[in-house]
Structure 1
Amino acid sequence: MKGRNKKTSDSGKESAGVAAAGLVEDGMIIGLGTGSTTAYAISEVGKRINEEELDVQAVVTSYQSEMLAIDAGIPLTSLSEHPELDLDIDGADQVDFELNAIKGGGAAHTKEKVVACSSKQFIAVIDESKLSDKLNHSVPVEVLPYSRNLVLQNMQNMGAEPEIRQAVHKDGPVITDNGNLIIDADFDVIENPNNLASELSAIPGIVEHGIFTGMIDEIYMGKKDGTFDKFK
């Protein structure tokens, strides 16, 4: 299914985000993720709440999505208050045709995975550059600082090239919202995402990895021509 035409370079992202926001219904408790395409969805949800007087509350996955949601006028709640969500809208760094994904470019994948697994339906919004025949993006891994050397060694033994992610606008490593480090591990082409996910989960000190398998229900993909496709 294709969406409306746009003219700007981000028009496909906007079309996908707006379309995903159209799934939100009155009375829903939703999850809102992080990323440039998700930002359009957040803005549209806020617009619909204002114009249609929808009764909607959101659980956010990062400080970024929290600020965007507040600016958009979306009432916030928590998983403590609402442990089961109706819908989750989030982005991805890369997705394959089996709907496996790699997330964590924004260092928020731990909360994003918790929210996705707490939702009845998980919609991923991406642009077409994120779609790949096979996953080959580096895998973000959130790690307890105390365990970083152990985790690095285990990843190297698995054939990866791991690096602690460094901050851009300050000296030192990126620190997550949970107070942990991010290691980006390059495994080249990931032939079996499920197996790699299990291997990473077994390493002591890893809080969560960015491989998402069996979680996405549908993809809304923005295209360069300003339209979007959706598939599942």
Structure 2
Amino acid sequence: MSQAAPYTPAGPDQPTPRPRRTRLLLVPGGIVLLLIAIPGATYGFAENQLSQAQGSEAHGAYGQALSEYGTAETVAGNPVSRVLLGELADRAKAGTAETHYRWGLQLTEQTKFADSETQLRAAIKSGIADWAVRGNAALADLFYAWGQSLVADKQFQAGIDKYLQVAGVDPTGNLTASTNAGLAVAYAGFAQWYLQQQPIDYPNALIWYEKLVKDFPDSADAKLAQASSLPQTLYNAGVAFVQQ
């Protein structure tokens, strides 16, 4: 009599390997999609900020333009994004430098000299050679205009100080002749100012006339001082001393 086969309880069904292979294929696919989507969205945002900044700059809204350029540069220029968006970051950096420069020019025209200096120095420090050169030239013009304005307001020492700053940012000497002429006017004006004080300050008046003749002997102011102002001041100073 044959024996029945021993009973073997059924174990749990074993999963087929196909779903696992499908899952392994889906994960890399998702990563690829993310790698494509994230830079694309970042590029679009940075480009939009750059476009808005250019529009703001064109309309003279320089403060807003700087904010928008800064956002674009921050987004496109960070270490992760720069690999793909470096060109956008460089354009934003150049736009920032140009905006500082143009704002500085506008502020100079508005005689807001201190604010103009801040903007022009920012353009110079941008690290972009072209805007650094332009910024230096504009800064020289600024100091010259600032000196003129101060001297016109009879703030002679402050005006002289500004004139003397021109040479430091004018290596080619484009403004040397104009600056020297301005300094001569300032020296003569300062001497005359001392002569108008009560009591008259002869010692300081003589100091500035002598500096005028020594530093700018060919100027019209120096020649006038030599011919009349300086001798007359010396004479008057002597009379005043005797009368004391």
Q: TM-score, normalised by structure 1?
A: 0.24
Q: Rg bigger for which structure?
A: 2
Structure number having the greater strand percentage: 1
Structure number having the greater helix percentage: 2
Q: TM-score, normalised by structure 2?
A: 0.23
